[in-house]
Chains A and B, each alone.
Chain A
Amino acid sequence: MTIKVNRKGDVWVFAEQHNGHIEETPLELMGKARWLADTLKVKLAAVLLGDEVGELAGQLVRYGADTVFLAQHPLLKTYQTNSYAKVLCDLIQRHEPQIVLYGATVTGRDLAPRIASAMKAGLTADCTDLQIGDHTPAGTGEVHENLLFQIRPAFGGNIIATIINTDRWPQMATVREGVMRMPEPDTQRKGRIVEETVHLTPEELPLQILEEHKQPRKVNLKAARVIVAGGAGVGSRENFKLIWDLANSLGAAPAGTRAAVDLGFIDHDHQVGQTGTTVRPNLYIAVGISGAIQHRAGMDQSQKIVAINKDPDAPIFGIAHYRIVGDLNDVVPRMIKALREKAVR
């Protein structure tokens, strides 16, 4: 079984779009993808599928793409797995990128594994970092150079794993929203737009999308300058009122850990962490949060971190600027009171 490995191709980002808008996560990915392409001295291409979306190509160039592969067809107007996978696999085989990146959105997680399976390629989900490096398999002298290091916390979060693909291509990874910093668009940037021919028939689209209902997100965590987050330690949905009250007194966004969301204390829109949103606020107040690595991965770049927990050994204290060991039911009301007094002064 020999597969000709491709280490010369470009870096690609799947520019997921719905209803004529490019999703935020792929745009965030463009910054890191640009850096990967520059490091490897290859080009960065964005792959845009849809119908009548040509005007989005310019946006992708401004965000760093040297090339935009534009695959348009009426049958691509709405996403479904088989049509998008077929077109993307065709493009991958035609142009042979060495790396393909996707946002770990609902669509990305539906599409990327289907492509990985068809290409018999490796795919690493929810990466928290991407780097370029060399790898020498144990017991051999052969060095695999300039591989994509796909980095993510693993297995209960006690370790960080660096995953690589040495003998398949393309190297693929998905990245959650907020993990990569949104790059600044460069209005002067020029790029090449390549119109691709698409062959699709209705028989190749097995799903009928009968209805779709989207609610706007309840909170914009990425834009928040201050976040007050509660963990399982808060104890109940009723007690989460403390989080909302403290957030209100600071003009902050309320948030929760995955544990708090799973327990029903707060809605999934408010989830911070590796499988939620990654945030970088000026101030992150962690209330009753132990600090598992999957949560820390989502907030450890906050400018200042205040942690309140009654367990002095909670891992969150390892990254907090201000450590308060105490009962949150006592400390949070004191903080609200102190804020009110400062405001009055």
Chain B
Amino acid sequence: MELLKIEDRNLFYSGHAACPGCVEALAMRHILNTLGPNTIAVVPPSCTAIICGAQPCNSLQIPVYQTTLESSAAAASGVRRALDAKGKHDTTVIVMAGDGGTYDIGFQALSSAVERNEDMIYFCFDNEGYMNTGAQKSSATPLYAATGSTPAGKPSKKKNLTEIMAAHEIPYAATATPAHLADLVRKVEKAKNIRGTRVITILIPCLPGWGLADDAGIASARLAVDTGVFPLYEVEDGYRYTLNQADRTRPVQDYLTMQKRYRHLSAEELEEVQAAVDRSWARLVERSTAVPVE
């Protein structure tokens, strides 16, 4: 068995208000462990904001600036430039935002920051919906998933943030999950040593939002990867693809049936979802095995 070896730097304190079993809090813990204390985080309204604590308490040892929902990437740019003006080029600036503040209302600011190649690491905690306000749909919600605003299942597909970031040709875009901690830590460490905009999208199974038991967050994330629904991969400079998993080992059904938000799925819809996953997997394999034109 591969043993985890992560230096625990005690930068995240107990007593925070995440739901029991919340794997977003878990991801935050290990992101901070990897980045270390010379970091400033920008956080929009989100579960992350609640996890940061209620005034005057802070669950993170690093400074956190909470901005408005649209403006994470812009606010982080402000922090970055101000630090640079002060000569503090080694302080890492990160964003920890949800999918709402990234794929939707925050998308414009993100695209702009990315176009400017602002020096920051942008972590999107993708729990596939506006979970903090009670699980309404976002453009990160997958096809057919039931949410507070799409009770019969979302009629449209999930946006692919990593591919959009790749199209912006940022130095580093990657996917990760809290179930694959060694992989997550490796990617954060790698990102830390790159300059420019780095975007890591982390799949966060939301227990109340997706309909999972308190202890099922890690298992669900693991299945997302094993079924190919959320493949682990990296894209450097927009064209060098690296797939971090050898293959898919489970059918999509195994991942979907664990979640209440897919209970209503018909057999045809399930087939459609499997076919879509098959197609996007094939595309990913093609890109990761192609010899890039340099």
Q: Do A and B bind each other?
A: no
Binding site for A on B (CB under 8 A): none
